[in-house]
Amino acid sequence: MLTARHLAFCSVGVALLAYSLFHPGAVHAEWQDGNLYFQKELGWHFYRNDVVPVPPPLPHALPDTPPPLVEATPEPEAKPATPVDIPKEGPALEAYLAALPDTALAPMLPKLPASAIRTWIPVLMDQALTSLDRTGVRKYLLIQQESLRRSELFSRVWQEVIWTDPTFDKTNTMPLGGVGQQVYEQGQATDDRQKVQALQDRITLLIVVQPNCPACEMAWQITKGFGDRYRFTIRPIAADLTTLADGTAVLPYPRIVDSLQITEFPSLFLLEPSTHYLTRLGTGILSEQELATRVLRLIPEANPEGAVTHAWTTEEPAAPAR
């Protein structure tokens, strides 16, 4: 049962509720605007904290520069053998190369002198052919590859030096292209004709023939045409009197033929009557261009250094009478 005390308490509560409903200002006076309940229009995340937290001070200041790190001392690596320590030749070198691993040979090759590479190549090839294993063959291929690399580099530098140094770049006298060679040959032929023409009336060509010799007949026709072109005296001689196909009489000069020690026919000789200079031009059928080239190479006035080694001077083989 409700007592009078309970009824009094309920009456007070009802009165307060009615007052709050009809007089909201009284509640606002008691609850401040900053109360969380009156900020619900901001949503559930209305909470703000405008105070920036300050980190607590460090117990002590850090140094400006960190202390140096202590590095661990690396273990010493095994150094490859220097060229001074490597045997130069003989069984010691063979034993050294046989025990040398292929992995150790590869980094050594770029620093090896060329003389060592030339010495090692045959040794490693023999060892590879003897062992017939991959390690031996690989060592030989490594050193062979290094040799080819250096040869290629040397050839490249060789060519660059020739191109850039006028002392060695002789494209006028040693043409590289087909057009250059053709122009050079034409100019050389013209120059040779002028030089040979300057020797007219100074030299005599002796062609030594024998009977029933077709090669002698052909060589006579070419040599005669060459003499007519440059006004040289051409004399066919033989050991016995004979006649060529065109009716030219070949006078016998057995003593001269014997002194020249001719074993093949036809044989052609260059004679300068004024100095008794005599040299052999060649044997067989020679073209006019080849005759001009050999005359200029073997005449002392045209080539004083080379002609002496191919010629001799004697009083015996005198020129036949004209």
Is 48 among the domain residues? no
Q: By residue range, what is the domain housing residue 112?
A: 90-161
Residue-wise pLDDT tens digits, 50-68: 555 566 665 555 555 655 6
CB atoms near residue 279 (< 10 Å)? 21
205 lies in some domain? yes
With beta carbons less than 8 A apart as the criterion, state whether 293 and 270 touch.
no
| Domain C-terminal end among 134, 161, 188 | 161
Note whether residue 37 is domain-resident. Answer: no
Q: Do 202 and 271 fall within a single domain?
A: yes
pLDDT greater at residue 71 or residue 215: 215
Q: Which residue has the tokens 């033989």?
A: 238
Domain boundary among 161, 182, 206: 161
Cα–Cα nearest to 293, from 162, 196, 166:
196
pLDDT in tens, 6-62: 666 666 666 655 555 555 555 445 555 555 555 656 555 555 555 555 666 655 555
Crossing angle of helices 178-197 and 214-230, in 10° steps, is: 80
Closest among 271, 318, 259 to 299, alpha carbons compared = 271
Is 124 within a domain?
A: yes
Q: Tell me what percent of the residues of the chain surpass a pLDDT of 70.
A: 63
| Residue 116 and residue 225 in one domain | no
Residue 61 located in a structural domain: no
Q: Would you state the structure tokens that stand for residue 190, as one six-digit string?
A: 């013209």
| Residue 176 covered by a domain | no
- Same domain? For 135 and 215 the reply is no
Q: Domain with 242 in it: what CATH number? A: 3.40.30.10
Indicate the pTM of the whole model.
Answer: 0.43
- Report whether 18 contacts 27 (CB < 8 A): no
Same domain? 204 vs 293? yes
SS3 content of the chain, % helix, strand, coil (to 5): 50, 10, 40
Q: Is residue 40 part of a domain?
A: no
Q: How many domains does the chain have?
A: 2
Residue 134 lies in a domain: yes
Q: Do 200 and 249 fall into the same domain?
A: yes
- Sheet bearing 204-208, strands edge to edge: 242-243, 249-252, 233-238, 204-208, 267-272, 277-283, 311-313
DSSP string, 71-127: PPPPPPPPPPPPTTTS--SHHHHHHHHHHS-HHHHHHHGGGS-HHHHHHHHHHHHHH
How do residues 258-302 score in pLDDT, each as one tens digit? Answer: 888 888 899 999 988 888 888 999 999 999 889 988 988 888 764
Domain's final residue, options 161, 178, 205: 161
